[in-house]
Structure 1
Amino acid sequence: MHSILQMVLIALAVIALLGVVLEDVIHINKAKVTLFLGTLSWVLLYIFHGHHSTEEVSHGFEENVAEIASLWLFLVAAMTFVAYLNKKGMIENLIHLFLPKQIKERQLLFLTAIFCFIFSSLADNITATLVSVTLILSLNLSRKKTIRFATLVVFAVNSGGVSLITGDVTTLMIFLDQRVSIVDLLMLSVPALLAVVLLAALLSRGMRDTITIQTHRTDVRGVDIAIGVVFLCTIIGTIILNVLFEIPPVLTFLLGLSVMFLIARFYHDDEVETPILEYIRVIEFETLLFFLGILLLVGMLKEIEVLDSIVRIYEVLPPIVANYLMGILSAAIDNVPLTAALLKAGITMTEVEWLGLTYAVGVGGSLLVIGSAAGIVAMSKVDGLTFGSYAKYSLLLLFVYTVGYVASINFSQLMLG
């Protein structure tokens, strides 16, 4: 019964993935497909739990839901900030402050790459993607060019997070397990940035037009500036409090969100403009439901020990090759439980190989749009960015990922001697 149940549950996960891939063909929203199959898989696991006890299944489900709730609340806070600042024209004003009235598309592509890389290493990937995509959408580029920019954003955001413990959860996990040091992690910024710049150069082919940026600035009110400052302080505070006191980012962002509400009330903005709480209702709940379904499926796969069996690849392949494949696999399986399974497996690797794994699982999710939180957020915000439209760049992304991975190994070996 256990083997049959496992096969059925794996089949449900595969069907869910196909539902996302074929969304444009079957015309069924990906959030509906993943949510249905994610919840159904846990119901089946409860009923036919095989060698697991009901208590073990309940414990696994509670852990899974706790992780999802933390992500949900964080997304709600981050998206509400961005929705407000975008509605009030703060982000658009920021563009006009730093960008010239006219700029070549190629130059803009490189500026976008560098901005995403730096910002995502300081903030979390989701916030960096939300801000970056909002900036791109405000430029009113053609759909094809917007998708190209969005593809660069996803790769750059994921690449920026691998060299700092504040930039990516998997980097933090590997650091806390004492596999690498902060100084050694900083070395990854060089090959990671190299790969991002290479991708920008490859994507810039044929982009020769000049973009005229319309200067129609919105009047900025005191309350808008105050909330913008709170958002910035929330991002910085998240980094500092997490490093010094290990305070979860979701807690800091919820604190920032509550301060945002209180400031709006202090300025009597609730009485004059749209009530500040209304901005929660305009965020992308489709994205949240999609996350919910995907993470339920991943949690189920972890519960039936499918993820644990993946680490056996290290028994037949050298760690450098296995790490490279783990990065590719992270495009289909969430990199957090995948990294957790690798850390718990007791795999013995050198520091160079652990750094290679850090790069691989951090950047490999960029190969598919559903492979990372950045990709899912971008897909929900950019019209026309689907699994299929993003997949057109997958071979190019695989090439750049390979270059970055090889560079990370060679550069780490050079620096560590």
Structure 2
Amino acid sequence: MEHGSVVEGVAQAVTHVSLATEWVGWLSLAVFIIAYYFIATEDKYEVNKAKPALFAGTFMFMLIGIYHAINGMNPDALHDELELLILEIAEIFFFLLVAMTFIETLIERGVFDLMKYKLVSKGYTYKKLFWLTGLLAFFISPVADNLTTALILSTVLFTIDKKNLAFLVPGAINIVVAANAGGAWSPFGDITTLMAWTAGKGEFVDFLYLFPASVVGWVITAFLLSMSIPSGQPPFDASTEEKPVVCDGGMVVAYLGVATIAMAVLGHQFFHFPAMWGMMFGMAILKLYSVQLTKTGRNSFNIYVNMQKVENDTLLFFFGILSAVGALHFLGFLHYIHNLYESFGPTVSNIGVGFLSAIVDNVPVMSAILKSSPSMGLDQWLLVTLTAGIGGSLISFGSAAGVGVMGRLHGIYTFGAHMKHSWTILVGYIASIAVWYVQFEVLGLY
């Protein structure tokens, strides 16, 4: 039996009274809405999104505990809910921790600096660089995750030309859309896909069937964006640009990263291990490799120093937001989502999820859907994975990739600049859904 089905079975066995209409329900909902306001306006108030998310996620359960104590209720149901929630969060938390550590090690070894140099030194035109950065984003994000991919390639973009907004803005949008689309068809590429996979909504290979819909949607959007890319090529002076050198073991770390992902997949498929178990084993091997480099007198790396560079605010944000959604689930609010699916049907509801994820962010939306667990087949679970993953591209702050690029290209890639080109993303989104419909519902190719 898959881990996800075990969790669902235990969750269904835990019964408790809905508290959505009690004072604790309304107060918790207010805390969630206020916290999410500060998450969405992170740049305006300069309050890191992890802080309101973490506060809301922990405080809402504190309120529930107080309500139980005041009313003399049996705390067993609350205890069981928290145990399941901790297990769910830990799987995602440790998985991302290892993935980010590998990325930081590759950055420290200079692997990405060399990639950046090779791109800008080839003398490519703006249009070629636009397509190359998009292709790299689409094919790197399934392995490295969409946020990390978008951050790295937006830095590359800014290195190419710091002043040409006609190139930078469409190029940044292209990277965000490509990273989100590429992440949608891989369990490692987007946190929402990872959540669906670890919840047992599909096998690893099932998500690969989303490749046609993902690539067609991105290519159409990229083609429309490319029409606004200026002609010519960026300036590059080989005499002033020094070629980066990859430090000892840089490429071996890259191979170890690929092997670690393979171990996570195989362990999950054949032994039903949580995906993070294979990732942690890969972390152990990476540490042993650093020891071997030191013993042989080569330029080694300190894995703990690289771990310090990991974006802990992102990890804590996921902890907080998943906890908050878990509290809403315990209070009974997510039952209304189940009712919406019953009323409008899964296809219409899942398409709507894409638009909702652009406004609210796809992580809490996907978490809410998984916890409400509407009755759907594999085709519909893959549809909601697709729409939640790529729907966040419709608005600049609708995905982690978009938020990351807004911070990296501050004052260049803005909400207003994104919205001027949002129609191209909408066309690609519709095309992705059309491909899904033909492939899954008409031809049954999955």
| TM-score tier after normalising by the smaller chain length | 0.7 to 0.9
Counterpart of 2:305, as a letter, is E
Residue 341 (structure 2) pairs with residue 329 (structure 1)? no
Counterpart of 1:316, as a letter, is S
Counterpart of 2:112, as a letter, is I
Which residue in 2 is equivalent to 1:314?
341
Deviation string, structure 1 residues 164-199 (Cα, Å, up to 9, x no partner):
56652355368x557x9957x655322321110122
Percent identical across equivalent pairs? 24
Q: Among residues 150, 162, 175, which one is paired with 1:142 in the alignment? A: 162
CA apart distance, 1:136: 3.6
Residue 257 (structure 2) pairs with residue 231 (structure 1)? yes
Residue 365 (structure 2) pairs with residue 345 (structure 1)? no
- Asked whether the 8 Å contact 2:137–2:182 carries over to 1, the reply is yes
Deviation string, structure 1 residues 62-89 (Cα, Å, up to 9, x no partner):
3223332332322222222212221221
Which residue in 1 is equivalent to 2:217?
195
Deviation string, structure 1 residues 211-241 (Cα, Å, up to 9, x no partner):
4566633333433333232223223333333
Residue 317 (structure 2) pairs with residue 287 (structure 1)? no
Residue 267 (structure 2) pairs with residue 241 (structure 1)? yes
Which residue in 2 is equivalent to 1:407?
435
Q: What is the distance in 1 between the residues matched to 2:74 and 2:384?
A: 34
Q: What is the distance in 2 between the residues matched to 1:229 and 1:102?
A: 29
Specify whether residues 216 and 341 from structure 1 end up closer, same or farther in structure 2 by C-alpha distance, changes over 3 A only.
same
Which residue in 2 is equivalent to 1:19?
38
Deviation string, structure 1 residues 326-373 (Cα, Å, up to 9, x no partner):
33334425244334245x3335x6x76555444323433444556555
Q: What is the distance in 1 between the residues matched to 2:188 and 2:42?
A: 34
Residue range with higher mean Cα deviation, 112-121 or 295-304: 112-121
Deviation string, structure 1 residues 37-66 (Cα, Å, up to 9, x no partner):
222222112112479742222222232233
- Asked whether the 8 Å contact 2:137–2:149 carries over to 1, the reply is no
Specify whether residues 325 and 280 from structure 1 end up closer, same or farther in structure 2 by C-alpha distance, changes over 3 A only.
same
CA apart distance, 1:310: 0.9
Residue range with higher mean Cα deviation, 196-205 or 206-215: 206-215
Q: What is the distance in 1 between the residues matched to 2:333 and 2:209?
A: 33
Q: Among residues 288, 291, 301, which one is paired with 2:328 in the alignment? A: 301
For normalisation by structure 2, the TM-score amounts to: 0.77
Which residue in 1 is equivalent to 2:97?
76
Q: What is the distance in 1 between the residues matched to 2:104 and 2:63?
A: 38
Counterpart of 2:124, as a letter, is I
Residue 201 (structure 2) pairs with residue 172 (structure 1)? no
Residue range with higher mean Cα deviation, 240-249 or 382-391: 382-391
Q: What is the distance in 2 between the residues matched to 1:279 and 1:354?
A: 36
CA apart distance, 1:298: 1.8
- Asked whether the 8 Å contact 1:287–1:376 carries over to 2, the reply is no
Q: What is the distance in 2 between the residues matched to 1:219 and 1:188?
A: 37
For normalisation by structure 1, the TM-score amounts to: 0.82
Q: What is the distance in 1 between the residues matched to 2:77 and 2:120?
A: 55
Specify whether residues 105 and 197 from structure 1 end up closer, same or farther in structure 2 by C-alpha distance, changes over 3 A only.
same
Corresponding residue SS for 1:316: helix
Which residue in 2 is equivalent to 1:89?
110
Q: Among residues 264, 270, 280, which one is paired with 1:254 in the alignment? A: 280
Q: Among residues 233, 236, 244, which one is paired with 1:210 in the alignment? A: 233
- Asked whether the 8 Å contact 1:230–1:260 carries over to 2, the reply is yes
Q: Give the total of aligned pairs.
A: 408
Q: What is the distance in 1 between the residues matched to 2:281 and 2:331?
A: 36
Corresponding residue SS for 1:267: helix
Q: Among residues 21, 28, 48, which one is paired with 1:9 in the alignment? A: 28
Which residue in 1 is equivalent to 2:293?
267
Residue 56 (structure 2) pairs with residue 29 (structure 1)? no
Counterpart of 2:337, as a letter, is I
Which residue in 2 is equivalent to 1:133?
151
Counterpart of 1:39, as a letter, is T
Which residue in 1 is equivalent to 2:390?
363
Corresponding residue SS for 1:310: helix
Corresponding residue SS for 1:206: coil
Counterpart of 1:240, as a letter, is L
Specify whether residues 195 and 80 from structure 1 end up closer, same or farther in structure 2 by C-alpha distance, changes over 3 A only.
same
